[in-house]
């Protein structure tokens, strides 16, 4: 019989610092990688993760729940959305994102988080 697995973001398996303005705490559980991103004011994917990813836009699909703060997301086609506390969003690859306002945006990502912001 399989056992229930429990992990806590306060003791993550890994912490991935961005190039300034935040970090991702990562837990590996149930064969999945789940991340809690803390995106400080001033964070922008194209400034703080692009140097790590080495791509022109974020190529990770996100399925996330926003705990606090706000984030703007712009797709390569120019469409934009803003998400905030209580929102669940699915964002396909090919976007930029940024923290809106002066409060950190904290979100839990259940998507294809495996190598997000992971240095080689």
Would you list the domain boundaries of the chain?
A: 14-109
Whole-number Cα distances in Å, 76 to 21, 24, 80: 23, 24, 9
pTM for the complete prediction?
0.95
Architecture of domain 14-109: Sandwich (2.60)
Percent of the chain with pLDDT over 70: 100
Distance, in Å, from the CA atom of 63 to the CA atom of 42, rounded to the nearest integer, reads 22
Residue 1 pLDDT > 90: no
Residue range 45-104, pLDDT digits in tens: 999 999 999 999 999 999 999 999 999 999 999 999 999 999 999 999 999 999 999 999
Distance, in Å, from the CA atom of 93 to the CA atom of 61, rounded to the nearest integer, reads 5
Which DSSP string corresponds to 9-55? TTS-SEEEE-SSSEEEEEEEETTEEEEEEEE-TT-BHHHHTHHHH-S
Per the structure block, which two tokens stand in for 21? 């303005």
């Amino acid at each position: 019989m399989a056992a229930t697995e429990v992990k806590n973001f306060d003791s993550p398996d890994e912490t991935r610092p961005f190039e300034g303005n935040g970090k991702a705490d990562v837990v590996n559980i149930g064969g999945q990688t789940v991340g809690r991103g803390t995106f400080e004011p001033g964070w922008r994917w194209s400034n703080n993760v692009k140097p790590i990813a080495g791509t022109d836009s974020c190529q990770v699909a996100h399925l996330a729940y926003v705990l606090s703060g706000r984030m703007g997301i712009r797709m390569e086609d120019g469409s934009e959305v803003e998400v905030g506390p209580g929102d669940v969003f699915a964002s396909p690859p090919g976007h930029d994102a940024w923290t809106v306002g002066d409060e950190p945006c904290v979100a839990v990502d259940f998507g294809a988080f495996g190598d997000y912001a992971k240095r080689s």
